Amino acid sequence: MKHNVDVVRIRENSIQLNGWVIGKTPDSVPEFAVLDAKGKPVEFRYVSTRRDDVSQIYYGKTYDRDFGFDIQFPYERGRDYWLVIRCDGRKARIRYNETLIARRASVAHKRLQKIRDLMNMETVHVAMDFWKENGLRALFVKSVHKIQGLDNDYDYGEWYELTKPSEEELERQRQDPMPDGPLFSIVMPLYKTPAGYLRVMLDSIVEQTYGKWELCLADGSPAGEDVEKIVRPYMKKDARIRYQNLGGNRGISDNTNAAIAMASGDFLVLADHDDAMTPDALYECARAIAAHPDCDVVYSDEDKMDMDGGALFDPHFKPDFNPDLLTSVNYICHQFVVRRLLVQKVGGLRKAFDGAQDYDFIFRCTEQAREIVHIPKVLYHWRCHQDSTASNPQSKLYAFEAGSRAIMEHYHRMGIEAEKVEKGVDYGIYHTTFRIQGNPLVSVIIPNKDHRKDLDLCVRSILTRCTYKNLEFVVVENNSTDPETFAYYEALMQEFPQVRVVTWKREFNYSAINNFGVEAARGEYLLFLNNDTEPIAENFIEEMLGFCQRDDVGAVGARLLYQDDTIQHAGVVVGFGGVAGHTFIGLHKAENSYFHRAMCAQDYSAVTAACMMSKKEVFQAAGGFSEDLAVAFNDIDYCMKVRALGKLVVYAPYALLYHYESKSRGLEDTPEKVERFNREVARFAVKWPEILKNGDPYYNPNLTLRKSNFALRDLKKEGIGEPYRLDPAILALMEQQKGAADGQGK
């Protein structure tokens, strides 16, 4: 017999246990008992639950029977209780009281439990497959990250309990009249909905703290399987609930359209019949609309709940509107709220996109929206069960093909020429290849001081291995001291006519050196490149150029790896490390990142200039690199200036290179360098105070600034919604610089 109790909850005067039991064979039947401290039986409620994951791990296949349990029994504080499990002649006794339950919830116990959870055959199989595909080093790196993850301060369930609105806050919301608030029409298609799931969703709507709503239910269930008998008691109690029997299944799109046709509200709220809304969901949406009267679309963060609704997990904390991320994955999903007038303009859901009908609908709504508002709070629980794409993407493969077509049609409407949209790193993650317009000259600008071997590898690998050929190289010679470096330059230019060397004769200033290189560049596009880089993807220039040619894009960055195949750069978040930092540093290229973000094309506030492409006209309009930032944050500052022009900064994950970082210049390891670095931090903070105060719009305030892996924000050290914290010495420098600027009338 093997068993485990996954979840223990105290609910007022009862204890609830969720877990599983298996015996020698799938036919083994466990028996349960609950005893008090004297060994007397205690009455308990028992419900069997489906646990196909357990069946797959221990028996190698799924069986049509339940291996899980949900047991609930009454208890009195200070008393001991025992859960007794018998199966195949063996017996287990597990003791429970509030002290033990609290102890088991401690960090040490949770870490031990996580280690136990990893000790199963599924982990072994996954590890072996990963080893075969990616090698021993990759498995070691992934294992280290897995173990490090055991030290996270919070499980999501615990984190959610600490951050969700209190009962006092919910009551305050109920008392808030909001007389000018919008009427929400919650549109929900029904189809053979399990009674328990539907009741959970209906209860979550009835319990909303904001009262101006109507619920429009369109039931496409076949005759005899409709759910009117479940809905009728709710309708008797609440006139805001309306129900229509469609007389048969019209498909998900037309069933939803039937619900939309019933709506009379100012805004439509799309909801699935087996999920749940948080009690403050509509209140938060009403607040957002009041603060942004021109907004046509509102979306929120979401999480998943297990089949019985008892556990929350896998939270998706999203960025503000991110059009390129949306073409990589339907990250918006739930909760999605749209102005009804906009729906009348763009049309409802389209049957041709069934399976990805919401994806296509979101594209059409966001394309036409005047303003799109993101609420960085979990307002929706997405139920994860065997038939849902939330738990089993391969159950609806057709959905991903429909999603590909939705993306292509979006590009067509936007006037963007894409060659193809393919499956990315996983189902539901897409990789777009754009059509290159013409054959524009790309000027590759590479500063160099000695390090001729690095430079030779960089230039030669691009010219001999990469597929884009209309290139010129502008090598900016920067105070080299080795005579052989200059002899190498002559040999390189003689071998490759595309290469020119221009000489910078002043002190080191990364910004000024690159600006000087741009003056010598003839290309329509500029590719800023460090000399210690080497391409991995032979088409990395096309991957970047495809984005950069778009009118709405001003700069494009690449995915850069260290020599050991771990990530050095996958975009920049303003706020990491106090000012700005790279995402997913140290993650192996084969590891899964947060919702696959490292492998999704997306918009960021900034990318590194170690490999960055920009239009020359955009570079000139932005004023180039700021020369008062000689070493640090000049590329971040440039990206901020590009965004100030109304242009996007895009991260292109399939533009892949090695970056053998810091060979050329060395580390900030002297007092003089540290002082200069702090001055430049302060200078950046003075120039861009709003993003440091309000947070990076392409990140999420619920995620940590202390790590690069998009982990949950540390409530003890960072709080929630607090501004970024700068070092006091840097704050003092900021005051000095602001005083100097004020004195000069700037």
The answer on pLDDT for 39 being more than 70 is yes
Q: Which range, 67-76, 250-259, 682-691, 733-742, has the best average confidence (pLDDT)?
A: 250-259
- Strands (E) in 211-296, as ranges, are 213-219, 241-245, 267-270, 276-277
Taking residues 319-329, report their average pLDDT: 98
More confident residue, 82 or 107: 82
Same fold, 1-104 and 442-730: no
Structure confidence at residue 282 (pLDDT) = 98
More confident residue, 313 or 467: 467
Class of domain 177-413: alpha beta
Q: Are 703 and 711 in contact (CB under 8 A)?
A: yes
Tokens 């594209």 correspond to: 363
The answer on pLDDT for 149 being more than 60 is no
- Identify the CA nearest to 439 among candidates 471, 474, 472, 462: 471
Per-residue pLDDT band for 664 (boundaries 50, 70, 90) equals: very low
More confident residue, 675 or 221: 221
The whole-angstrom separation of Cα 491 and Cα 470 is 21
The answer on pLDDT for 716 being more than 80 is no
Structure confidence at residue 55 (pLDDT) = 79
Taking residues 308-324, report their average pLDDT: 91
Q: Who's near 652: CB < 8 A, 6+ residues apart?
A: 543, 544, 546, 547, 556, 557, 558, 559, 601
The count of other CB atoms within 10 Å of the CB of residue 380 is 26
Structure confidence at residue 157 (pLDDT) = 85
Q: Are 372 and 297 in contact (CB under 8 A)?
A: yes
In the three-class reduction of DSSP (H, G, I as helix; E, B as strand; rest coil), residue 534 is classed as strand
Range from 138-152, 265-279, 306-320, 427-441 carrying the lowest mean pLDDT: 138-152
Taking residues 427-456, report their average pLDDT: 95
The count of other CB atoms within 10 Å of the CB of residue 663 is 13
User: Phi-psi bin for 89: left (phi > 0), alpha (psi -120 to 50), beta?
Assistant: left
**Strand 276-277 to 372-383 pairing:** antiparallel
User: Phi-psi bin for 415: left (phi > 0), alpha (psi -120 to 50), beta?
Assistant: left
Q: Who's near 687: CB < 8 A, 6+ residues apart?
A: 626, 637, 640
The whole-angstrom separation of Cα 188 and Cα 272 is 6
For the chain, domain boundaries: 1-104, 177-413, 442-730
Q: What is the pTM of this model?
A: 0.80
The answer on pLDDT for 667 being more than 50 is no
Helices (H) and strands (E) in the chain, counts: 24, 30
Taking residues 340-366, report their average pLDDT: 96
Structure confidence at residue 636 (pLDDT) = 95
Q: Who's near 539: CB < 8 A, 6+ residues apart?
A: 466, 467, 468, 654
Taking residues 313-341, report their average pLDDT: 96
Percent of the chain with pLDDT over 70: 85
Taking residues 559-588, report their average pLDDT: 91
Range from 164-168, 343-347, 469-473, 741-745 carrying the lowest mean pLDDT: 741-745
Q: Are 695 and 320 in contact (CB under 8 A)?
A: no
User: Phi-psi bin for 623: left (phi > 0), alpha (psi -120 to 50), beta?
Assistant: left
Q: Are 614 and 648 in contact (CB under 8 A)?
A: no
Taking residues 621-626, report their average pLDDT: 97
More confident residue, 611 or 154: 611
User: Phi-psi bin for 200: left (phi > 0), alpha (psi -120 to 50), beta?
Assistant: alpha
The answer on pLDDT for 16 being more than 70 is yes
Structure confidence at residue 124 (pLDDT) = 58
The answer on pLDDT for 379 being more than 60 is yes
More confident residue, 720 or 478: 478
Taking residues 469-487, report their average pLDDT: 95
**Strand 213-219 to 184-190 pairing:** parallel
Backbone phi and psi for residue 206, each to the nearest 5 degrees, phi listed first = -60, -30
The answer on pLDDT for 678 being more than 50 is yes
Per-residue pLDDT band for 385 (boundaries 50, 70, 90) equals: low
Taking residues 170-187, report their average pLDDT: 95
More confident residue, 135 or 495: 495
Mean pLDDT of the chain: 87
For the segment(s) 1-104, the CATH number from 2.60.40.10, 3.40.50.300, 3.30.413.10, 3.40.50.970 is: 2.60.40.10
More confident residue, 681 or 418: 418
Structure confidence at residue 666 (pLDDT) = 45
Structure confidence at residue 254 (pLDDT) = 96
Structure confidence at residue 108 (pLDDT) = 43
The answer on pLDDT for 290 being more than 70 is yes
Structure confidence at residue 734 (pLDDT) = 62
In the three-class reduction of DSSP (H, G, I as helix; E, B as strand; rest coil), residue 12 is classed as coil
Taking residues 297-321, report their average pLDDT: 91
Taking residues 443-465, report their average pLDDT: 95
Structure confidence at residue 453 (pLDDT) = 93
Per-residue pLDDT band for 437 (boundaries 50, 70, 90) equals: very high
Per-residue pLDDT band for 733 (boundaries 50, 70, 90) equals: low
For the segment(s) 442-730, the CATH number from 3.30.230.80, 2.60.210.10, 3.90.550.10, 3.40.1780.10 is: 3.90.550.10
DSSP type of residue 591 = S
Structure confidence at residue 249 (pLDDT) = 92
The answer on pLDDT for 110 being more than 80 is no
Residue length, the chain?
746
- Identify the CA nearest to 647 among candidates 547, 500, 517: 547
The answer on pLDDT for 120 being more than 60 is no
